[in-house]
Amino acid sequence: NTGCLDSIVTPIQVKVNEKPAAQIIASSNACESAKVNINANVISKDSVVQYSWNLGNGNIVRTPSPTTSTAYQRPGIYKLQLIVETDKNCTDTAFMQITVRALPTVSVNAPITICLGQSTQLTANSSASISWRTQSNNVLCTNCNSIQVQPNVNSRYTVVATDSAGCSTATTTSVNVVQPLRMQVSGNDSICIGESRQ
């Protein structure tokens, strides 16, 4: 052992793959029970092979698609998480918060029965803006709690309550129309005094 040392330096090329940049695109406000469309916006030089979504309501979605959707059944604040992964095994995580609003409440008077030719008033109560529609979806009135109707046949009416956030609730009531009786008399058109006819 002479105690002599030597070294060899060999260059090694290391390729550093670029990390993707992910962002969640969705409305920050939603209505209870309404469908929410959620999209991923990713900047990456490499191909994204998987989008892993935690939608905050117990739904976990793993998909090669950058889009998904869900519906939140209760009002509240939900935190979303997205993890994107490229074909080079690089990942990025994005977060977003969605506020889900409760639907407005609305009540309307019970079904009403009227005679043909009569009119009646229908009244709804809600803190939201109220509109009325026929069963064929024609708008009768907007921003009005009460309407006067005079249908010729049994009819159903829809009440839609819409709040300032655009969340809406619908309910229905009906008006039943009693048609007049039709009488038909037959038999001889003349009788003698003291006689009777059926």
Average predicted confidence (pLDDT) for the chain: 92
Predicted structure pTM score? 0.73
Domain boundary among 101, 133, 150: 101
Q: Whole-angstrom Cα distance, residue 109 to residue 128?
A: 17
Same domain, yes or no: 113 and 65: no
Count up the domains in the chain and report the number: 2
Q: Whole-angstrom Cα distance, residue 21 to residue 116?
A: 68
Q: Whole-angstrom Cα distance, residue 100 to residue 30?
A: 5
CATH of the domain at 36: 2.60.40.10
The yes-or-no verdict on residue 163 having pLDDT over 60 is yes
Q: What is the mean pLDDT of residues 97-114?
A: 96
Q: What is the mean pLDDT of residues 11-26?
A: 90
Q: How far apart are the first and last CA of the chain?
A: 144
For 120-159, write each residue's pLDDT tens digit: 999 999 999 999 999 999 999 999 999 999 999 999 999 9
Flag whether 1 is in a domain.
no
For 164-190, write each residue's pLDDT tens digit: 999 999 999 999 999 988 766 666 566
Q: Whole-angstrom Cα distance, residue 79 to residue 83?
A: 14
Flag whether 149 is in a domain.
yes
Higher per-residue confidence, 185 vs 34: 34
Flag whether 187 is in a domain.
no
Higher per-residue confidence, 12 vs 155: 155
Same domain, yes or no: 67 and 113: no
Tokens of 91: 């990942």
Domain span at residue 43 reads: 21-101
The yes-or-no verdict on residue 74 having pLDDT over 80 is yes
How many Cβ atoms sit within 10 Å of the Cβ of residue 191? Answer: 10
Same domain, yes or no: 76 and 114: no
Phi, psi of 158 (to 5 degrees): -105, 135
Q: Whole-angstrom Cα distance, residue 49 to residue 62?
A: 10
Q: Whole-angstrom Cα distance, residue 160 to residue 187?
A: 55
The yes-or-no verdict on residue 37 having pLDDT over 60 is yes
